[in-house]
Amino acid sequence: MVQSQSICFDRAASFYDATRGFPAGVDEEIADAIVAAVGATPATHFLEVGVGTGRIALPLICRGYSYVGIDISEQMLAQLRRKLRERLGQIPPQVSIQVADATALPLPEGCVDVAMTVHVLHLIREWQQVIGEIRRVLKPGGVYLYGYGDRVISARGEFEPRWTAILAALGFQPQRVGASSEQVEQYLQAQGAHLERMVAAEWQTAITAQALFELYAQRSYSASWQIPEEIFAVALRQFQEWFRDTYPDPQITLLGESEFQMLLARW
């Protein structure tokens, strides 16, 4: 298998749903929006590149759609297979879950109606190649759905700027591996795609300051995985000092607002 320069989430498989999962009902709301946006019928064949633990896939698979889910993380896919067996008693025959690389999809040309990437292109250095592969496997008239989240009001508020400033003072600047949503949109436009943007779901978030601090301390966010151990240890000590000074009550609740956005591309 060709291996791209992508960030693998094996290390996050055990806590991914707890830290990135949607609130109850939001996954079904997103599934409703996807079905409506792409005009899905019982015959629609879906492909999700970077399917992970199935945040997007599960509601669609449970509705009976034909679905191919690929990921480079075997541990993430193991979580998805487990959830499918718990919910449905088996992996349905119209569903294929497999380890594969996004830059070399193991599929023939023109075989899927809808191809999706959700929160994944920022993790893949060769993201343009991924879009090229998606175009290759889409049927004529098919739809590419690029899904991404946006924190309208972020609970991470003061945390992220302070963490970034501490790292910068220590001489470390995290590097983006793949593309931002703006870069993806510009690239799709340059490729002649007709684009449609929509918000699929909106919800409120709530987390205690202590719980948010622990997400940084436990390296829950993939951007922290590239930080050398010696720098991370010093940065965390400084971050903890700031946290204690800033949040004398660590159990205070931090509120936020999030939304799930979709960019639909048709050629």
- For the residues of 184-225, what is the DSSP string, one character each? HHHHHHHTT-EEEEEEEEEEEEEEEHHHHHHHHHTT-SGGGG
In a domain, 236, yes or no: no
101 neighbors 73 (Cβ within 8 angstroms): no
The answer as to whether 144 is a domain residue is yes
Region 220-248: mean pLDDT is 95
Residue 170 lies in a domain: no
How far apart are the C-alpha atoms of 53 and 73, rounded to whole Å?
A: 10
Task: Catalogue the E-assigned strands of 100-137.
Answer: 112-118
Q: What is the pLDDT of residue 5?
A: 60
Residue 195 is predicted with a pLDDT of: 98
What band does 175 get if pLDDT is binned at 50, 70 and 90? confident
With beta carbons less than 8 A apart as the criterion, state whether 209 and 250 touch: yes
**Amino acid letter for position 11:** R
| Closest listed residue to residue 145, CA positions, set 183, 109, 193 | 193
pLDDT band for 151, please (50, 70, 90 cuts). Answer: low
> Of all residues in the chain, what percent carry a pLDDT higher than 90?
83
Query: Quick check: is 94 in a domain?
Result: yes
**Among residues 207, 186, 198, 200, which one has the least CA distance to residue 254?**
207
CATH number for the domain including 76? Answer: 3.40.50.150
* Structural domain span for residue 40: 10-149+176-204+257-266
Residue spans of beta strands (DSSP E) within the chain: 45-49, 66-71, 95-99, 112-118, 138-153, 194-208, 253-266
Evaluate whether residue 92 is within a structural domain: yes
Cα gap 262→201, rounded to integer Å: 10
Beta bridge partners of 211: none
Tell me, yes or no, whether 222 lies in a domain.
Answer: no
C-alpha 252/C-alpha 243 separation (Å) is 12
| Tens-place pLDDT, residues 33-44 | 999 999 999 999
Coil vs helix vs strand at 1: coil
Q: Is the predicted pLDDT of residue 263 greater than 90, yes or no?
A: yes
Query: Average pLDDT over the chain, rounded to whole?
Result: 93
Structurally, how many domains does the chain consist of? 1
- CA 184 to each of CA 94, 127, 150, 168, 255: distance values in angstroms, whole numbers, following the listed order: 30, 9, 15, 27, 29
209 falls within a domain: no
Is 214 inside any structural domain?
no
- Would you put residue 54 in left (φ > 0), alpha (ψ -120 to 50) or beta? left
Q: Is 47 exposed, middle or buried (0-12, 13-18, 19+ CB in 10 A)?
A: buried
More confident residue, 149 or 55: 55
Residue type, 244: R
Q: Provide the token pair at 188.
A: 């799709």
